[in-house]
Structure 1
Amino acid sequence: MTDVTHLPGATYHFWQWQSRAACRDLGSARFFHPAGERGEDREERDAAAKRVCAGCPVRAACLDHALSSHERYGVWGGLTEEERQARLARAGSARRA
């Protein structure tokens, strides 16, 4: 489950970027893997999601949200959960150095 303690609240201006997202009307199946999906199927789904993200006008805001709220699942802002975890780990290491 997503840790919502990091979310800024229900104030509209925090969330208005979502109304301009390229994925807004595409459904979640392209961005969140089903249970047990692995290998080539997962890679293809992730690549399809990243293609949507690549042309998205709010990609940076989406990624900022995913990183700040520690979204655990799905492709957000063009990064998979593993890519986001690696980025957060690198940022944590840089802060400790």
Structure 2
Amino acid sequence: MAYRRPDDPHASRLHQDARGTRAFMEWLRSAACVDEDPELFFPVGTAGPALRDASAAKRVCARCPVTDPCLSFALDSGRASGVWGGTGEEERDALLRTRNDARRRSAL
């Protein structure tokens, strides 16, 4: 990694990213999906086998002890595709809209 001066505006961002990655890795080790096929959580399509895969992925999430941090990670990092924290893409979109609407109302 290239040397960065302490006053470099990107230095603190890199440090934050590194901390976030460590925190991500900590809860990921406890995830029920850690030994599952990742493709199960990223179904391609919106019908047939893709729906079955998404349902199977959500069943894995249902027995997972870290669904809350997983969902928070997906929402905070903008993960648009896949099953995260027991939610699919449309469910996360709805959660983000609700959260953004609440933030706008509180800013008024």
TM-score normalised to structure 2 length: 0.74
- Percent identity (aligned): 43
Instruction: Report what 1:57 is aligned to.
Output: 65
Higher relative helix content: 2
Aligned residues: 89
Which of 63, 74, 90 is the aligned partner of 1:82?
Answer: 90
Q: Deviations over 1:56-90 (max 9, x none)?
A: 01111100100100101100000011110111011
- 1:38-62: per-residue Cα shift (whole Å, max 9, x none)? 2232221111000000010111110
Structure 1 residue matching 2:36: 3-state secondary structure? coil
Q: Which runs of 5+ in 1 are unaligned?
A: none
Q: Which has the higher contact order (CA 8 A, sep 6+)?
A: 1
What are the ranges of 5 or more consecutive residues in structure 2 without an aligned counterpart?
Answer: 1-12
Task: Give the number of the structure whose alpha-carbon radius of gyration is greater.
Answer: 2
Corresponding letter in the other structure for 2:38? S
- How high is the TM-score relative to the length of structure 1? 0.81
Q: Of 70, 74, 77, which residue of structure 2 is paired with 1:66?
A: 74
Q: Is the 8 A contact 2:43 2:51 kept in 1?
A: no
- Secondary structure of the equivalent of 2:94? helix
Cα distance between partner residues in 2 of 1:14 and 1:30: 20
